[in-house]
Structure 1
Amino acid sequence: MQERVLKTLEFTKIKEQMLDHVSSSLGREKALNLMPSVDYEEVIRLQEETDEAVKVLRLKGNVPLGGISDIRAHVKRAIIGGMLSPLELVQVASTVHASRQMKKFITDMAEETEIPILEGYAEGIIVLAEVEEKIKHAIEENGEVLDSASDTLRSLRQQLRSREARVRERLESMIRSSNAQKMLSDAIITIRNDRFVIPVKQEYRGHYGGIVHDQSSSGQTLFIEPQSVVQLNNELQGIRVREQLEIERILIELSVLVGENHEDLLSIVEILADLDFMFAKARYGNKIKGSKPAVNNKGIISLYQARHPLIPIDEVVPNTIVLGKDYSTIVITGPNTGGKTVTLKTLGLCTLMAQAGLQVPALDGSEIAVFDAVYADIGDEQSIEQSLSTFSSHMVNIVDILERVDFNSLVLFDELGAGTDPQEGAALAISILDEVYRRGARVIATTHYPELKAYGYNREGVINASVEFNVETLSPTYKLLIGVPGRSNAFEISKRLGLRESVIEKAKTYISADSNQVENMIASLEASKRLAEKEAEEAHELLKDAERLHKDLQKQMMAYYDRKDELVEKAKEKAAGIVEKARQDAEEVIRDLRQMRLEKSAEVKEHELIDARRRLAEAAPERKQANKENKKTGTRHDFSAGDEVMVTTFGQKGHLVDRVSDNEWQVQIGILKMKVKERDMEFIETPKQKDVRQVAVVKGRDSHVGLELDLRGERYEDALRRVEKYIDDALLASYPRVSIIHGKGTGALMRGVQEYLKNHRSVKKIRFGEAGEGGTGVTVVEFK
């Protein structure tokens, strides 16, 4: 991509905004070097990386990326044998710790959800626990080498503390003496040149002897190391030298350890840089309310409700931009300040962002093409140094574009052909558009020229567009109208501003008939488009209602089958109990017969056998015979509308509504209507005439009873009345259970609803909803 195009489309500002979302200098470096990719496979991978990071942020809120430093320079110096400072070693340990924490975070996260890309990064992180532990054991976070770094260092520091205590004790005895107040400027012990001294007045310098290390600016005070502590200070100095040598030995040892693990450390740094940058892209995507676009290499762009990412969300007007399917060129006409240039930049910037792996500020389902190049000629780029006019500078850019453009290019022209004679400029604009179109590129161009309004109607693959203008408010709405060319609105605006009607009418006489026809056509197109959008919105609402109804029906069917399975299971348990009791009774009869045979030597009276047979018959479970006379006799029942039947395939009763074909009927089962063949039905009875009339009533859409009743926002008394009616309707619909949404609030509505339900004779039990059902904001009712 050309650097000039990136600057023109303000891609550099996107990179600057991303700097607010990085966690380390590594991520910052990646953000500053961000460039759009022209490789289709790479763009797909980059988008998947960002989407996976967004998924993690959505589930976890944050990731442990703190404590990361750019330690590459430290590692390289350690490789060649250099000694790292304590703070540099602390940065190495902190970065290793951050990598270990990140690896654990990703591994734990992978057990909850699929994150294959992050898992791949985690596998590449080598856990250098030994490096981290040794550095932290030897150096504090503030860079101080600890006593625990080595036994020698601990011993030396104990000696230092002991000697310092002796020196201070000796000097304190001096400053507390009776003469001290007279001879000392101040009764304190201080340090000069790493040696303990006391402030002595100039005239008493010979009293203490020793060494003068410093004097005050006035020369009245000398900082003297008394002769009596010179030897102790010398010992202290010697211990300090040995301490420094031991510290250097420890630092060299740790630096060698870093150098030995340089490959793993550099790999960790690279992975952490990638992870930091991934989550910076994700956080930026959340900030602009972006979404992952589908990516193609066919030159198709579909941006739904796209917004310019550099304009505040509460100010920007979203627009839908579609290009590359039915047409490859869009010509936007209309007056200035209408938002044409913003539309160009929105499309160009979204394309660059998508190819850089960033999410785009548009609705889900948007699609972006991967282009080899994006070209833009936008704004006034007049060059004083080159002595070029506005038109000339634009033509320099356009010439350069025409030399490079091909079928896999996106071209953005702003005010094409402007800055010269209108007739010649319009002719040039048409010719340039024809040339770019012939090359197969995707093009959006803006222009003032009325000649280009007819361009979209005369060229296949080209469509007109405009930015809507509200004549009532005399201001643009910034809404893009694809398929409708722009019109000047000069007469309407002048009229609204108070220009006399006679002047306007006279002006209209100077406009050609063709121009008037075009303006009238544009006005008609705008009205038609608004009507179509309104109808599309209404259709969308109807579709949503239908989908809602469909979901309710699905819930009802699921509840029906759950209830059916429950009843079948209970029936099986009951039947098993009856059979078991019959078996026990039969066993008892057989035992009695055997006992009778033994007691009476096999002489069993006839009446005793009859009695035993009766008892056996009574032990057998009773079975209700279905009304299958028509099947037993082999005769075919002559069904008629209103007949009550048993649908054998569902095991449910219903009634016939209407004949569909010779052997098929429409059957009403509860609230559902379905087609059933006659062979799958058993006749039960023909209801009385009044029942037939009742069966023939078809319920309207408003009579549908949902599985949920939403009371939120209702007044207490109105809510209880709705609950009473809803429970009656649900019982009539034979629902096994329903949900009443009352919300949490103060709890008054919840208590009132539950008190009513507890006293209802048909309610079996009530409970609060589960976590996935709405919790304490929902009461689930089960009927008897």
Structure 2
Amino acid sequence: MNQRVFHVLEYKKIIDQLAAHAASSLGKSRALALKPSTELDEVIQWQNETDEAAQVIRLHGNAPLGGIFDIKPSIKRTTIGGVLSPLECLDVASTIYGGKQIKRFIEQMEEPEVPILRELIDGIEPLGDLERNIRNCIDDHGHVMDGASEKLRTIRSRIRTYESRVRDKMDNYTKSKSKMLSDAIVTIRNERYVLPVKQEYRGAIGGIVHDQSASGATLFIEPQAIVDLNNQLQEAKVQEKHEIDRILKELSEAIAADQSFLYQNVELLEKIDFMFARAKLGQSMKAAMPAMNDQGVIKMKQARHPLIDDTEVVANDIELGESFTSIVITGPNTGGKTVTLKLVGLCTLMAQSGLQVPALDGCEMAVFENVFADIGDEQSIEQNLSTFSSHMTNIVDILKQVNDRTLVLFDELGAGTDPQEGAALAMSILDEVVSRDARVIATTHYPELKAYGYNREGVINASVEFDIQTLQPTYRLLIGVPGRSNAFEISRRLGLDEQVIETAKGHVGSDSKSVENMIASLEASTRGADRDYEEAERVLQQAQEIHEELQKKWKQFEDKREQLYQRAEQKAEKAVERARAEAEEIVKELRSRKHQADFKEHEWIEARKTIEDARPELADRKQKEKKPISKGDRKLKSGDEVKVLSLNQTGTILDVISDHDFQVQVGIMKVKVKRKDLEYIKSEQPLKEKPMATVKGKGYHVKTELDLRGERYEEALHRLEKYVDDAILAGYPRVSIIHGKGTGALRNGVKSFADRHPSIKSHRSGGMNEGGGGVTVLELS
């Protein structure tokens, strides 16, 4: 990547902002070394990393990355036998703890999905033993604690004892010899306790002189009486230092033993911190993740220059690389042309560095091998270069390297020389760059270049808008509309005499007038189209809001109607239940009377069935509103022909064991199959035959056996009661109830029911050929 462009586009300011968002010196150093990549895959990976970190920040606020230090120099020293200081050891423990914190934070995260971060934290080693050893020896202030070893505790206890004795003796001196002292205090010189004695009392105190004041009036004397105590104290302090050195040496050796894990942790934590720094920068800029391509396509909606304050910056839509590969921007000075150049160039460098760009979601950026920028006046007095020469020197260098994977930014192309020659040279340079299929954005004042976009394929004109009423630029970029000078309008607004303006217009050629009129018309059309678009957007938004409100009201209406239906049906059901209960009471009362023989059993049963049939069928409208059941979701029943998918065989359903389990006849086999393993083919065609039994003209079709296996106890007895009623109506002398053996609860329930039922004469277990203990045979009256 061209190094000069970093300075021209102020890339370093972005890097400085990025480094400020790093939580550790590791992330900061990584940020300061960041350079754009020219490899598409690498850029995409960087962008995905930034996006993952941005999602975590959006959902969880921030990531715990405190307490992480660059301990690589310390680790390296331990590997060559060096001994770390207490603070250096503490930094190692703190970094281990910081790694565990971020590892735990990511592991406990349910949303969002962060595969890159999870892969990174998998490589972080907790190193709990090493951290505990360091914490047990060194406190949070970097001091080796008494408990670091038993020997150190003993030495420090002795030191405190000696210090206490020395102070006691020195306090006696300050009280008894206060007149001989310059100040009644105990002080330290050469790490020994001394008294500030007046010069004239030197002989009265006696002892060793360690120092004197600047005036010589005060001598700092160690009294002879405490010399031995001070010697013992110093000896103990030497022992303390040796023991501390031994402890630190052991800790340093432990750190060296885990050097490979520590290096790995530091590298991973550096990368994680760097990821979150990029995400925080994007959040501060209200930036979006761009989709990256290597086709030279740039699309940004409402893009903002990242170094201009939010209160002042004007957002613009910028496209390049699809319908056209070059943009020529014309317009007045201070109108924002150069800002547009720098915006595109800087956002390109940011995107290729894995940073999000300040634009709306859905933006797209390209990966270029080189970004060149010729912006600003760089004339050099020392090199005797004029403005034109300095620009041309830079352009010559650019033309030597331009290819189809290059973005070129020209500011005031051809400026600084004769207008006609400058315009001709500018068009020639643009032709050369465009012919190499590079992506180009150029600004110019030359009116000849306004027609350039109309005569060249792949080139389009653009301008920055200027408000004639306020005589101020709006900084809005108008793609497809060339700029105009506005000199006459500005002069008129500033008060220039109308006659002078008209005379000046007479000097302008008809071609120039036509071009200016065309541009004015285009500007008006563009402004009108923008207004219409904004109005259409507003109307569409209102229509969507009305549509959503109507949908909400309609749903409320449907819910209310369903509630009313349910209430009505519940009332009807309760009424039928009350009538049924009353009828049951009447039947019981009639049966208890003496002449109940006048009523036949089948008449009782028919009366009960009449009550059952009077129950309303409560419709579940919500179920009715569902889509029709597809072939694969059809509810299966006995007799249906199905395909067993796992066997690739067809068969017939013999029995519905439950909603999910079925007994299927496949050839000569009977198999139990799950619903998901069955595919419906067709239903059993009903046979047209005479009723098995007819009573009073009403037909009852019922088998001579009832299979209750797999059913719950209450449902089974309910089916049994209904089946016995139907069997009596059918005139069967006996029926078989299949309940299986199991726990025996269902068998006992069937027998208890038979004992109570007035129309069952007797019951017995099935014979050898009837199913044995799994069947109960009922004899009906």
Please report the TM-score for the alignment, with normalisation by the length of structure 2: 0.75
Give the equivalent residue in structure 2 for 1:723.
none
User: Do structure 1's residue 342 and structure 2's residue 339 form an aligned pair?
Assistant: yes
The change in CA–CA distance for 1:573 and 1:299 in structure 2 (over 3 A counts) is: farther
Paired with 1:103 and 1:393, the residues of 2 have a C-alpha distance of: 54
| 1:466-495 deviation per Cα after TM superposition (whole angstroms, max 9, x unaligned) | 111111111211111111101011111111
What is the CA-CA distance between 1:66 and the residue it aligns to?
Answer: 1.9
The change in CA–CA distance for 1:278 and 1:619 in structure 2 (over 3 A counts) is: closer
The change in CA–CA distance for 1:448 and 1:204 in structure 2 (over 3 A counts) is: same
Aligned counterpart in structure 1 of residue 516 of structure 2, from 506, 519, 525: 519
User: Do structure 1's residue 120 and structure 2's residue 98 form an aligned pair?
Assistant: no
Give the equivalent residue in structure 2 for 1:759.
none
Give the equivalent residue in structure 2 for 1:528.
525
Aligned counterpart in structure 1 of residue 358 of structure 2, from 361, 368, 373: 361
Correspondence list, 1:99-114, <5 A: 99-108=99-108, 110-114=109-113
**Where in structure 2 are there 5+ consecutive unaligned residues?**
627-781
The change in CA–CA distance for 1:189 and 1:621 in structure 2 (over 3 A counts) is: same
| 1:719-738 deviation per Cα after TM superposition (whole angstroms, max 9, x unaligned) | xxxxxxxxxxxxxxxxxxxx
Aligned counterpart in structure 1 of residue 458 of structure 2, from 450, 461, 465: 461
Paired with 1:561 and 1:58, the residues of 2 have a C-alpha distance of: 38
Paired with 2:154 and 2:584, the residues of 1 have a C-alpha distance of: 96
Q: Tell whether the 8 Å contact from 1:586 to 1:616 is kept in structure 2 after alignment.
A: no
What is the CA-CA distance between 1:463 and the residue it aligns to?
Answer: 0.8
| 1:602-640 deviation per Cα after TM superposition (whole angstroms, max 9, x unaligned) | 3349xx9999978975675266999xxxxxxxxxxxxxx
For the residue of structure 1 that corresponds to 2:482, the secondary structure is coil
User: Do structure 1's residue 600 and structure 2's residue 595 form an aligned pair?
Assistant: yes
Give the residue type in structure 2 aligned to 1:382: Q
The change in CA–CA distance for 1:622 and 1:78 in structure 2 (over 3 A counts) is: closer
Correspondence list, 1:1-12, <5 A: 1-12=1-12
What is the CA-CA distance between 1:60 and the residue it aligns to?
Answer: 2.6
The change in CA–CA distance for 1:601 and 1:552 in structure 2 (over 3 A counts) is: closer
Give the residue type in structure 2 aligned to 1:621: A
Q: Tell whether the 8 Å contact from 2:415 to 2:422 is kept in structure 1 after alignment.
A: yes
For the residue of structure 1 that corresponds to 2:597, the secondary structure is coil
What is the CA-CA distance between 1:567 and the residue it aligns to?
Answer: 5.8
Paired with 2:321 and 2:435, the residues of 1 have a C-alpha distance of: 14
The count of corresponding residues between Structure 1 and Structure 2 is: 625
Give the equivalent residue in structure 1 for 2:41.
41
Paired with 2:390 and 2:354, the residues of 1 have a C-alpha distance of: 33
| 1:117-156 deviation per Cα after TM superposition (whole angstroms, max 9, x unaligned) | 2222222221122222211211122221111111100000
Query: Percent same amino acid among aligned pairs?
Result: 58
The change in CA–CA distance for 1:80 and 1:610 in structure 2 (over 3 A counts) is: closer
Give the equivalent residue in structure 1 for 2:747.
none
Q: Tell whether the 8 Å contact from 1:376 to 1:412 is kept in structure 2 after alignment.
A: yes
Give the equivalent residue in structure 2 for 1:621.
614
| 1:7-47 deviation per Cα after TM superposition (whole angstroms, max 9, x unaligned) | 10111111122233222211221121111111112222222
Paired with 1:611 and 1:51, the residues of 2 have a C-alpha distance of: 77
Correspondence list, 1:88-487, <5 A: 88-108=88-108, 110-177=109-176, 180-487=177-484
The change in CA–CA distance for 1:82 and 1:327 in structure 2 (over 3 A counts) is: same
Q: Tell whether the 8 Å contact from 1:582 to 1:619 is kept in structure 2 after alignment.
A: no
Give the equivalent residue in structure 1 for 2:489.
492
Q: Tell whether the 8 Å contact from 1:415 to 1:447 is kept in structure 2 after alignment.
A: yes
Give the equivalent residue in structure 1 for 2:19.
19
Paired with 2:121 and 2:606, the residues of 1 have a C-alpha distance of: 80
Instruction: Pick which of 208-217 and 351-360 moved more.
Output: 208-217
Paired with 1:289 and 1:601, the residues of 2 have a C-alpha distance of: 90
For the residue of structure 2 that corresponds to 1:472, the secondary structure is coil
| 1:216-269 deviation per Cα after TM superposition (whole angstroms, max 9, x unaligned) | 222232222222211111111111111110000001011111111111111222
Instruction: Pick which of 167-176 and 151-160 moved more.
Output: 167-176
Correspondence list, 1:676-715, <5 A: none
| 1:658-710 deviation per Cα after TM superposition (whole angstroms, max 9, x unaligned) | xxxxxxxxxxxxxxxxxxxxxxxxxxxxxxxxxxxxxxxxxxxxxxxxxxxxx
Paired with 2:52 and 2:565, the residues of 1 have a C-alpha distance of: 46
What is the CA-CA distance between 1:107 and the residue it aligns to?
Answer: 2.0
The change in CA–CA distance for 1:137 and 1:610 in structure 2 (over 3 A counts) is: closer
The change in CA–CA distance for 1:567 and 1:120 in structure 2 (over 3 A counts) is: farther
Give the equivalent residue in structure 2 for 1:32.
32
Q: Tell whether the 8 Å contact from 1:578 to 1:621 is kept in structure 2 after alignment.
A: no
Paired with 1:91 and 1:601, the residues of 2 have a C-alpha distance of: 100
Paired with 1:610 and 1:142, the residues of 2 have a C-alpha distance of: 99
The change in CA–CA distance for 1:615 and 1:165 in structure 2 (over 3 A counts) is: closer
Q: Tell whether the 8 Å contact from 2:137 to 2:148 is kept in structure 1 after alignment.
A: yes
Paired with 1:155 and 1:47, the residues of 2 have a C-alpha distance of: 58
For the residue of structure 1 that corresponds to 2:140, the secondary structure is coil
Instruction: Pick which of 202-211 and 268-277 moved more.
Output: 202-211
For the residue of structure 2 that corresponds to 1:404, the secondary structure is coil
Q: Tell whether the 8 Å contact from 1:586 to 1:619 is kept in structure 2 after alignment.
A: no
Q: Tell whether the 8 Å contact from 1:185 to 1:199 is kept in structure 2 after alignment.
A: yes
Paired with 1:407 and 1:573, the residues of 2 have a C-alpha distance of: 77
The change in CA–CA distance for 1:623 and 1:211 in structure 2 (over 3 A counts) is: closer
Give the residue type in structure 2 aligned to 1:513: S
Paired with 1:117 and 1:32, the residues of 2 have a C-alpha distance of: 23
Paired with 1:184 and 1:379, the residues of 2 have a C-alpha distance of: 76
Q: Tell whether the 8 Å contact from 1:153 to 1:243 is kept in structure 2 after alignment.
A: yes
What is the CA-CA distance between 1:549 and the residue it aligns to?
Answer: 2.6
Paired with 2:147 and 2:606, the residues of 1 have a C-alpha distance of: 99
Q: Tell whether the 8 Å contact from 2:369 to 2:405 is kept in structure 1 after alignment.
A: yes
| 1:376-411 deviation per Cα after TM superposition (whole angstroms, max 9, x unaligned) | 111112233332222222122212222211112111
Paired with 2:227 and 2:609, the residues of 1 have a C-alpha distance of: 123
For the residue of structure 2 that corresponds to 1:383, the secondary structure is coil
Q: Tell whether the 8 Å contact from 2:86 to 2:143 is kept in structure 1 after alignment.
A: yes
Q: Tell whether the 8 Å contact from 2:569 to 2:618 is kept in structure 1 after alignment.
A: no
The change in CA–CA distance for 1:221 and 1:586 in structure 2 (over 3 A counts) is: same
Paired with 1:609 and 1:95, the residues of 2 have a C-alpha distance of: 89
The change in CA–CA distance for 1:623 and 1:26 in structure 2 (over 3 A counts) is: closer
Correspondence list, 1:673-752, <5 A: none
Give the equivalent residue in structure 2 for 1:87.
87
Paired with 1:619 and 1:287, the residues of 2 have a C-alpha distance of: 72
Paired with 2:624 and 2:247, the residues of 1 have a C-alpha distance of: 85
Give the residue type in structure 2 aligned to 1:105: F
For the residue of structure 1 that corresponds to 2:598, the secondary structure is coil
Q: Tell whether the 8 Å contact from 2:573 to 2:615 is kept in structure 1 after alignment.
A: no
Paired with 1:468 and 1:604, the residues of 2 have a C-alpha distance of: 103
The change in CA–CA distance for 1:107 and 1:617 in structure 2 (over 3 A counts) is: closer
Q: Tell whether the 8 Å contact from 1:579 to 1:620 is kept in structure 2 after alignment.
A: no
| 1:408-428 deviation per Cα after TM superposition (whole angstroms, max 9, x unaligned) | 211111111112221221112
| 1:264-296 deviation per Cα after TM superposition (whole angstroms, max 9, x unaligned) | 111222222222222222222222221222222
For the residue of structure 2 that corresponds to 1:507, the secondary structure is helix
The change in CA–CA distance for 1:345 and 1:588 in structure 2 (over 3 A counts) is: same
Give the residue type in structure 2 aligned to 1:127: P
For the residue of structure 1 that corresponds to 2:485, the secondary structure is coil
Q: Tell whether the 8 Å contact from 1:410 to 1:442 is kept in structure 2 after alignment.
A: yes
For the residue of structure 1 that corresponds to 2:12, the secondary structure is helix
**Where in structure 1 are there 5+ consecutive unaligned residues?**
627-645, 652-784
Give the residue type in structure 2 aligned to 1:22: A
The change in CA–CA distance for 1:612 and 1:169 in structure 2 (over 3 A counts) is: closer
The change in CA–CA distance for 1:247 and 1:310 in structure 2 (over 3 A counts) is: same
Give the residue type in structure 1 aligned to 2:259: H
What is the CA-CA distance between 1:78 and the residue it aligns to?
Answer: 0.8
